[in-house]
Amino acid sequence: MRLQKFLAMAEVASRRKSEELIFSGRVSVNGRVVTEAGTKVDSASDTVCVDGRKVDICDKKIYIMLHKPTGCITTANDQFGRRSVMDYIDIEERIYPVGRLDYDTSGLLLLTNDGELTYRLTHPKHNIDKTYIATVDREPAEADIKRFSEGIMLDGRRTAPARIDIADKNPVKLEITIHEGRNRQVRKMCEAIGCRVLRLERIAVGELTLGSLKKGKYRHLTEKEVAYLKEL
Ligand code: URA
């Protein structure tokens, strides 16, 4: 982005005042004084100083909820050039997904530049509930439901107890709540009780739900929602 925009976003001064700062030789990029306002900077890798003091836009914490569609990956870069969740978000700041959803899973995905919160939300010991609707090819029997909810052996390790309810019968939809984040966990757990997942959507993280947010759209979390996540 342009240097004066960076300075404005770092709340150093308005864009016009930032230009004056640049013209007067008070701004440096990577140790070199810059006097051209149009100079491009990368907020992630360049060091910008005003009067020798480092300024940064990352101080501003951003918290976003995206309704992830299927057909996109959760990481920013993909060796196969597939669409990424970042393609749906139109902001300058660098933010990162909190955990991940599979390429073929849709639903609620949080993104932020708050590393501390990401760590807390994704660390297994914090046990944040994540709720999914899995559309499956058959109705599980009572015994399977019991097995599922008590924990299932996956890759040599038992899953923690999970909640499972039949939300709909035609097609069969299961509402499933887990608090771990193992690879393709919901799909594997369903397969273990003989149900093939046809569609998977995450509808809630803790008490945060998608509400009326449309697929492919995002919104900033409210202060109340951020406070809630920090308290979890
Ligand atoms: N479990 C899965 O199987 N896939 C996801 O994307 C999330 C949880």
The verdict on whether 102 is a catalytic residue reads: yes
Pick the CATH number of 63-124+209-231 from 1.10.760.10, 3.90.730.10, 3.30.360.10, 3.30.70.580: 3.30.70.580
Question: For 54-77, what is the mean pLDDT?
Answer: 87
Q: Write down the pTM of the prediction.
A: 0.76
- Work out the burial of residue 143: count CB atoms within 10 Å of its CB; fewer than 13 is exposed, 13-18 middle, 19 or more buried: exposed
Residues with CB under 6 A from ligand 1: 101-102, 105, 184-187, 200
State the DSSP H helix or E strand holding residue 123, giving kind and residue range, or none if neither: none
Give the residue carrying structure tokens 């009780």: 193
pLDDT digit string, tens, across residues 114-158:
888 888 888 777 779 999 999 999 999 999 999 999 999 999 999
Name residue 204's beta-bridge partners.
Answer: 131, 209
Superfamily of chain region 129-205: Alpha-L RNA-binding motif (3.30.70.1560)
Question: The domain 3-55 belongs to what CATH superfamily?
Answer: RNA-binding S4 domain (3.10.290.10)
Closest Cα to residue 44, out of 80, 76, 14, 88?
A: 76
What is the torsional sign of CA 202, 205, 211, 214? Answer: negative
pLDDT tens sequence across 18-50: 999 999 999 999 999 999 988 999 887 899 998
Domains 3-55 and 129-205 agree in fold: no
Q: Which of 67, 179, 202, 205 has most ligand 1 atoms within 8 Å of CB, for mutation? A: 202
From 42, 56, 87, 102, the catalytic residue: 102
List Cα–Cα distances, 214 to 13, 80, 187, 188, 219, in angstroms.
Answer: 36, 27, 24, 27, 10
Question: Could you state, in order of their start, the residue ranges of all structural domains in the chain?
Answer: 3-55, 63-124+209-231, 129-205
